[in-house]
Structure 1
Protein backbone atom coordinates (compact mmCIF):
# COMPACT_ATOMS: atom_id res chain seq x y z
CA UNK A 1 0.00 0.00 0.00
CA UNK A 2 1.42 3.38 -1.05
CA UNK A 3 0.07 6.60 0.37
CA UNK A 4 0.28 9.95 -1.45
CA UNK A 5 0.14 12.23 1.59
CA UNK A 6 3.09 12.80 3.90
CA UNK A 7 2.44 11.49 7.41
CA UNK A 8 3.42 13.67 10.36
CA UNK A 9 4.61 11.63 13.35
CA UNK A 10 6.41 12.39 16.60
CA UNK A 11 9.70 10.55 16.14
CA UNK A 12 11.95 7.96 14.49
CA UNK A 13 10.24 4.97 16.14
CA UNK A 14 6.91 6.14 14.73
CA UNK A 15 8.48 6.46 11.26
CA UNK A 16 9.74 2.87 11.51
CA UNK A 17 6.27 1.67 12.54
CA UNK A 18 4.71 3.50 9.55
CA UNK A 19 7.26 1.97 7.17
CA UNK A 20 6.49 -1.53 8.51
CA UNK A 21 2.82 -0.90 7.71
CA UNK A 22 3.06 0.71 4.26
CA UNK A 23 5.11 2.72 1.79
CA UNK A 24 4.92 6.33 2.96
CA UNK A 25 7.02 9.40 3.64
CA UNK A 26 7.02 11.01 7.09
CA UNK A 27 7.94 14.25 8.78
CA UNK A 28 8.99 13.90 12.43
CA UNK A 29 8.14 16.65 14.90
CA UNK A 30 10.74 15.42 17.41
CA UNK A 31 8.49 16.09 20.37
CA UNK A 32 5.68 18.43 21.31
CA UNK A 33 7.65 21.67 20.88
CA UNK A 34 7.15 21.78 17.11
CA UNK A 35 9.78 24.08 15.61
CA UNK A 36 9.11 26.82 13.04
CA UNK A 37 11.31 24.88 10.61
CA UNK A 38 9.20 21.73 11.03
CA UNK A 39 5.98 23.71 10.63
CA UNK A 40 7.35 25.13 7.37
CA UNK A 41 8.13 21.60 6.12
CA UNK A 42 4.59 20.54 7.02
CA UNK A 43 3.14 23.60 5.26
CA UNK A 44 5.10 22.81 2.08
CA UNK A 45 4.16 19.12 2.26
CA UNK A 46 0.50 20.07 2.66
CA UNK A 47 0.64 22.29 -0.43
CA UNK A 48 2.46 19.71 -2.57
CA UNK A 49 1.07 16.32 -1.52
CA UNK A 50 -1.23 16.70 1.45
CA UNK A 51 -0.56 15.80 5.07
CA UNK A 52 -1.99 13.27 7.51
CA UNK A 53 -1.23 13.88 11.19
CA UNK A 54 -0.80 10.64 13.17
CA UNK A 55 0.36 11.34 16.71
CA UNK A 56 0.24 9.33 19.91
CA UNK A 57 -3.17 9.13 21.64
CA UNK A 58 -2.00 11.12 24.66
CA UNK A 59 -1.73 14.73 25.85
CA UNK A 60 1.57 15.54 24.05
CA UNK A 61 0.17 14.00 20.84
CA UNK A 62 -2.93 16.21 21.09
CA UNK A 63 -0.73 19.26 21.74
CA UNK A 64 1.25 18.54 18.55
CA UNK A 65 -1.99 18.05 16.60
CA UNK A 66 -3.36 21.39 17.87
CA UNK A 67 -0.13 23.27 17.08
CA UNK A 68 0.00 21.94 13.52
CA UNK A 69 -3.72 22.60 12.94
CA UNK A 70 -3.30 26.22 14.07
CA UNK A 71 -0.37 26.81 11.70
CA UNK A 72 -1.35 24.54 8.78
CA UNK A 73 -5.15 24.29 8.57
CA UNK A 74 -6.72 21.66 6.35
CA UNK A 75 -4.49 18.70 7.21
CA UNK A 76 -6.10 15.29 7.55
CA UNK A 77 -6.08 13.58 10.93
CA UNK A 78 -5.73 9.87 11.69
CA UNK A 79 -6.20 8.35 15.12
CA UNK A 80 -4.99 5.12 16.68
CA UNK A 81 -7.05 3.89 19.61
CA UNK A 82 -5.26 3.80 22.96
CA UNK A 83 -5.73 0.03 23.21
CA UNK A 84 -3.89 -0.40 19.88
CA UNK A 85 -1.04 1.91 20.91
CA UNK A 86 0.18 0.03 23.99
CA UNK A 87 3.21 -2.28 23.99
CA UNK A 88 2.95 -5.88 25.15
CA UNK A 89 4.46 -4.97 28.53
CA UNK A 90 1.73 -2.31 28.98
CA UNK A 91 4.17 0.53 29.64
CA UNK A 92 3.86 3.68 27.60
CA UNK A 93 1.63 4.52 24.69
CA UNK A 94 2.44 5.47 21.14
CA UNK A 95 2.19 4.96 17.41
CA UNK A 96 5.43 2.97 17.54
CA UNK A 97 3.60 0.19 19.45
CA UNK A 98 0.69 -0.11 17.01
CA UNK A 99 0.42 -3.06 14.66
CA UNK A 100 0.81 -2.48 10.92
CA UNK A 101 -2.91 -3.29 10.55
CA UNK A 102 -3.94 -0.67 13.15
CA UNK A 103 -1.79 1.92 11.39
CA UNK A 104 -3.25 1.10 7.96
CA UNK A 105 -6.81 1.30 9.33
CA UNK A 106 -6.14 4.64 11.03
CA UNK A 107 -4.68 6.13 7.85
CA UNK A 108 -7.51 4.73 5.74
CA UNK A 109 -10.01 6.53 8.01
CA UNK A 110 -8.13 9.87 8.05
CA UNK A 111 -10.29 12.94 7.56
CA UNK A 112 -9.80 16.69 7.59
CA UNK A 113 -10.84 18.73 10.58
CA UNK A 114 -12.92 21.67 9.52
CA UNK A 115 -13.36 24.75 11.65
CA UNK A 116 -17.05 25.45 11.51
CA UNK A 117 -19.53 27.52 13.45
CA UNK A 118 -22.49 25.35 12.39
CA UNK A 119 -23.34 23.42 15.53
CA UNK A 120 -25.15 20.20 14.78
CA UNK A 121 -24.67 18.40 18.09
CA UNK A 122 -24.89 20.49 21.25
CA UNK A 123 -23.06 20.17 24.52
CA UNK A 124 -26.44 19.44 26.12
CA UNK A 125 -26.81 16.49 23.72
CA UNK A 126 -23.52 15.13 25.06
CA UNK A 127 -24.65 15.54 28.66
CA UNK A 128 -28.02 13.88 27.89
CA UNK A 129 -26.18 10.99 26.21
CA UNK A 130 -24.08 10.40 29.32
CA UNK A 131 -20.87 11.42 27.52
CA UNK A 132 -20.10 14.27 29.94
CA UNK A 133 -20.36 13.97 33.72
CA UNK A 134 -21.25 10.52 34.89
CA UNK A 135 -19.60 7.27 35.89
CA UNK A 136 -19.65 5.79 32.37
CA UNK A 137 -18.82 9.01 30.48
CA UNK A 138 -15.12 8.37 29.83
CA UNK A 139 -15.69 4.83 28.61
CA UNK A 140 -18.56 5.93 26.39
CA UNK A 141 -16.47 8.75 24.88
CA UNK A 142 -13.62 6.36 24.21
CA UNK A 143 -15.85 3.87 22.40
CA UNK A 144 -17.70 6.64 20.51
CA UNK A 145 -14.35 8.04 19.35
CA UNK A 146 -13.38 4.58 18.08
CA UNK A 147 -16.62 4.12 16.18
CA UNK A 148 -16.56 7.61 14.62
CA UNK A 149 -12.78 7.38 13.93
CA UNK A 150 -12.10 10.67 15.72
CA UNK A 151 -9.96 9.39 18.62
CA UNK A 152 -10.45 9.64 22.39
CA UNK A 153 -11.24 13.02 23.91
CA UNK A 154 -12.42 14.60 27.11
CA UNK A 155 -15.96 16.07 27.08
CA UNK A 156 -15.00 19.53 25.87
CA UNK A 157 -12.72 18.16 23.15
CA UNK A 158 -15.42 15.72 22.04
CA UNK A 159 -17.82 18.54 21.26
CA UNK A 160 -15.15 20.44 19.33
CA UNK A 161 -14.06 17.36 17.40
CA UNK A 162 -17.63 16.44 16.46
CA UNK A 163 -18.02 19.95 15.03
CA UNK A 164 -14.65 20.00 13.28
CA UNK A 165 -15.26 16.65 11.59
CA UNK A 166 -18.83 17.71 10.81
CA UNK A 167 -20.27 14.55 12.32
CA UNK A 168 -23.97 14.58 11.49
CA UNK A 169 -26.69 14.09 14.06
CA UNK A 170 -27.49 10.77 12.38
CA UNK A 171 -23.87 9.53 12.50
CA UNK A 172 -23.68 10.58 16.15
CA UNK A 173 -26.99 8.89 17.02
CA UNK A 174 -26.03 5.63 15.29
CA UNK A 175 -22.63 5.48 17.01
CA UNK A 176 -24.16 6.34 20.40
CA UNK A 177 -26.81 3.65 19.91
CA UNK A 178 -24.05 1.11 19.21
CA UNK A 179 -22.15 2.18 22.36
CA UNK A 180 -25.26 1.86 24.53
CA UNK A 181 -26.16 -1.50 22.96
CA UNK A 182 -22.64 -2.82 23.74
CA UNK A 183 -22.99 -1.68 27.36
CA UNK A 184 -26.13 -3.81 27.79
CA UNK A 185 -24.39 -6.97 26.55
Structure 2
Protein backbone atom coordinates (compact mmCIF):
# COMPACT_ATOMS: atom_id res chain seq x y z
CA UNK A 1 0.00 0.00 0.00
CA UNK A 2 1.49 3.34 -1.09
CA UNK A 3 0.41 6.54 0.67
CA UNK A 4 1.02 9.74 -1.32
CA UNK A 5 0.42 12.08 1.62
CA UNK A 6 3.04 12.61 4.32
CA UNK A 7 1.99 10.98 7.59
CA UNK A 8 2.48 12.94 10.82
CA UNK A 9 3.39 10.65 13.72
CA UNK A 10 4.70 11.24 17.22
CA UNK A 11 8.12 9.59 17.16
CA UNK A 12 10.71 7.39 15.47
CA UNK A 13 9.14 4.14 16.74
CA UNK A 14 5.87 5.18 15.08
CA UNK A 15 7.74 5.93 11.84
CA UNK A 16 9.41 2.53 11.94
CA UNK A 17 6.10 0.73 12.48
CA UNK A 18 4.20 2.73 9.84
CA UNK A 19 6.92 1.96 7.30
CA UNK A 20 6.61 -1.76 8.11
CA UNK A 21 2.93 -1.53 7.10
CA UNK A 22 2.87 0.91 4.17
CA UNK A 23 5.14 2.72 1.75
CA UNK A 24 5.00 6.29 3.09
CA UNK A 25 7.00 9.25 4.27
CA UNK A 26 6.55 10.58 7.80
CA UNK A 27 7.20 13.67 9.86
CA UNK A 28 7.75 13.13 13.58
CA UNK A 29 6.48 15.68 16.10
CA UNK A 30 8.76 14.29 18.83
CA UNK A 31 6.00 14.36 21.41
CA UNK A 32 3.35 16.87 22.35
CA UNK A 33 5.68 19.89 22.41
CA UNK A 34 5.31 20.46 18.66
CA UNK A 35 7.78 23.20 17.73
CA UNK A 36 7.53 25.86 15.01
CA UNK A 37 10.14 24.16 12.85
CA UNK A 38 8.11 20.95 12.78
CA UNK A 39 4.89 22.87 12.03
CA UNK A 40 6.66 24.66 9.15
CA UNK A 41 7.74 21.27 7.78
CA UNK A 42 4.16 19.96 8.08
CA UNK A 43 2.77 23.08 6.31
CA UNK A 44 5.22 22.56 3.46
CA UNK A 45 4.23 18.88 3.20
CA UNK A 46 0.54 19.87 3.18
CA UNK A 47 1.15 22.32 0.33
CA UNK A 48 3.12 19.79 -1.74
CA UNK A 49 1.57 16.38 -1.06
CA UNK A 50 -1.08 16.59 1.63
CA UNK A 51 -0.83 15.41 5.22
CA UNK A 52 -2.46 12.63 7.25
CA UNK A 53 -2.31 13.05 11.02
CA UNK A 54 -1.90 9.61 12.62
CA UNK A 55 -1.26 9.99 16.34
CA UNK A 56 -1.67 7.68 19.32
CA UNK A 57 -5.20 7.05 20.63
CA UNK A 58 -4.54 8.78 23.96
CA UNK A 59 -4.65 12.29 25.44
CA UNK A 60 -1.18 13.39 24.23
CA UNK A 61 -1.97 12.05 20.74
CA UNK A 62 -5.24 13.98 20.61
CA UNK A 63 -3.42 17.09 21.84
CA UNK A 64 -0.86 16.79 19.02
CA UNK A 65 -3.68 16.20 16.51
CA UNK A 66 -5.36 19.41 17.71
CA UNK A 67 -2.15 21.49 17.60
CA UNK A 68 -1.29 20.36 14.08
CA UNK A 69 -4.89 20.74 12.83
CA UNK A 70 -5.06 24.31 14.12
CA UNK A 71 -1.69 25.27 12.62
CA UNK A 72 -2.11 23.43 9.31
CA UNK A 73 -5.70 23.55 7.99
CA UNK A 74 -6.92 20.85 5.64
CA UNK A 75 -5.02 17.89 7.06
CA UNK A 76 -6.61 14.47 6.79
CA UNK A 77 -6.99 12.22 9.83
CA UNK A 78 -6.51 8.52 10.47
CA UNK A 79 -7.51 6.89 13.75
CA UNK A 80 -6.24 3.72 15.37
CA UNK A 81 -8.61 2.02 17.83
CA UNK A 82 -7.08 1.89 21.31
CA UNK A 83 -7.35 -1.90 21.47
CA UNK A 84 -5.22 -2.09 18.30
CA UNK A 85 -2.55 0.15 19.83
CA UNK A 86 -1.95 -1.57 23.17
CA UNK A 87 1.53 -2.80 24.00
CA UNK A 88 2.09 -6.30 25.26
CA UNK A 89 1.72 -6.52 29.03
CA UNK A 90 -0.24 -3.21 28.94
CA UNK A 91 2.94 -1.13 28.92
CA UNK A 92 1.71 1.78 26.85
CA UNK A 93 -0.51 2.61 23.96
CA UNK A 94 0.55 3.86 20.57
CA UNK A 95 1.00 3.51 16.84
CA UNK A 96 4.35 1.83 17.52
CA UNK A 97 2.51 -1.18 19.04
CA UNK A 98 -0.04 -1.74 16.26
CA UNK A 99 0.11 -4.57 13.77
CA UNK A 100 0.79 -3.75 10.11
CA UNK A 101 -2.80 -4.83 9.33
CA UNK A 102 -4.24 -2.42 11.91
CA UNK A 103 -2.17 0.44 10.48
CA UNK A 104 -3.26 -0.41 6.93
CA UNK A 105 -6.91 -0.50 8.05
CA UNK A 106 -6.62 2.89 9.77
CA UNK A 107 -4.92 4.48 6.76
CA UNK A 108 -7.52 3.01 4.40
CA UNK A 109 -10.21 5.04 6.24
CA UNK A 110 -8.93 8.60 6.25
CA UNK A 111 -11.20 11.56 7.01
CA UNK A 112 -11.08 15.20 6.05
CA UNK A 113 -12.45 17.65 8.58
CA UNK A 114 -15.17 20.14 7.81
CA UNK A 115 -16.07 23.17 9.89
CA UNK A 116 -19.08 24.04 7.75
CA UNK A 117 -20.90 20.71 7.42
CA UNK A 118 -24.46 20.84 8.68
CA UNK A 119 -25.40 17.56 10.28
CA UNK A 120 -28.85 16.13 10.77
CA UNK A 121 -27.60 14.29 13.86
CA UNK A 122 -28.88 15.96 17.01
CA UNK A 123 -27.71 16.13 20.62
CA UNK A 124 -30.93 14.27 21.42
CA UNK A 125 -29.75 11.38 19.22
CA UNK A 126 -26.65 11.08 21.40
CA UNK A 127 -28.82 10.85 24.50
CA UNK A 128 -31.31 8.40 22.96
CA UNK A 129 -28.50 6.05 21.93
CA UNK A 130 -26.88 6.27 25.37
CA UNK A 131 -23.70 7.99 24.22
CA UNK A 132 -23.78 10.71 26.87
CA UNK A 133 -24.82 10.71 30.49
CA UNK A 134 -25.26 6.99 31.02
CA UNK A 135 -23.17 4.51 32.95
CA UNK A 136 -22.32 2.68 29.71
CA UNK A 137 -21.78 5.81 27.59
CA UNK A 138 -17.97 5.65 27.46
CA UNK A 139 -17.98 2.06 26.17
CA UNK A 140 -20.59 2.94 23.54
CA UNK A 141 -18.57 5.98 22.39
CA UNK A 142 -15.49 3.76 22.11
CA UNK A 143 -17.46 1.28 19.98
CA UNK A 144 -18.94 4.05 17.83
CA UNK A 145 -15.54 5.70 17.30
CA UNK A 146 -14.12 2.35 16.24
CA UNK A 147 -17.04 1.47 13.96
CA UNK A 148 -17.02 4.87 12.22
CA UNK A 149 -13.19 5.04 12.31
CA UNK A 150 -13.22 8.50 13.90
CA UNK A 151 -11.43 7.61 17.13
CA UNK A 152 -12.61 7.81 20.71
CA UNK A 153 -13.83 11.08 22.14
CA UNK A 154 -15.51 12.18 25.34
CA UNK A 155 -19.20 13.05 25.50
CA UNK A 156 -18.65 16.79 25.06
CA UNK A 157 -16.57 16.36 21.91
CA UNK A 158 -18.50 13.53 20.23
CA UNK A 159 -21.06 15.75 18.51
CA UNK A 160 -18.32 18.05 17.19
CA UNK A 161 -16.30 15.10 15.88
CA UNK A 162 -19.36 13.65 14.08
CA UNK A 163 -19.90 17.00 12.37
CA UNK A 164 -16.22 17.60 11.60
CA UNK A 165 -15.96 14.26 9.81
CA UNK A 166 -19.30 14.70 8.02
CA UNK A 167 -20.93 11.60 9.47
CA UNK A 168 -24.51 11.44 8.21
CA UNK A 169 -27.43 10.57 10.44
CA UNK A 170 -27.91 7.40 8.38
CA UNK A 171 -24.27 6.31 8.94
CA UNK A 172 -24.65 7.13 12.64
CA UNK A 173 -27.87 5.12 13.05
CA UNK A 174 -26.53 2.12 11.11
CA UNK A 175 -23.41 2.10 13.30
CA UNK A 176 -25.48 2.32 16.50
CA UNK A 177 -27.79 -0.47 15.29
CA UNK A 178 -24.75 -2.65 14.53
CA UNK A 179 -23.43 -1.98 18.03
CA UNK A 180 -26.81 -2.92 19.50
CA UNK A 181 -26.92 -6.17 17.51
CA UNK A 182 -23.37 -7.08 18.56
CA UNK A 183 -24.35 -6.59 22.19
CA UNK A 184 -27.33 -8.93 21.78
CA UNK A 185 -25.20 -11.73 20.35
TM-score, normalisation: structure 2: 0.97
- Please give the alpha-carbon distance, in whole angstroms, between the structure 1 residues aligned to 2:116 and 2:60: 25
CA drift of 1:117 comes to 5.6
Q: How far apart are residue 116 of structure 1 and its match? A: 2.1
Partner of 2:182 in structure 1? 182
Matched residue, 1:107: 107
Q: CA RMSD in A?
A: 0.9
Distance 1:129 1:71 in 2: 34
**SS, match of residue 5 in structure 1:** strand
How many angstroms apart in 1 are the aligned matches of 2:145 and 2:103?
A: 16
Unaligned runs of 5+ in 1: none
Alpha carbons 2:55, 2:65 under 8 Å: kept: yes
Give the distance between the partners of 1:124 and 1:73, measured in 2 at CA.
30
Matches within 5 A, 1:40-59: 40-59=40-59
Number of equivalent positions: 185
Equivalent position of 1:14 in the other structure: 14
Deviating above 6 A after TM superposition, structure 1's stretches of 4 or more consecutive aligned residues are none
Q: How big is the shift at 1:178?
A: 0.6
- For normalisation by structure 1, the TM-score amounts to 0.97
Q: Determine if contact 1:10/1:55 at 8 Å carries over to the other structure.
A: yes
Deviates more, 1:30-39 or 1:114-123: 114-123
In 1: Cα distance, 2:99 partner to 2:2 partner: 17
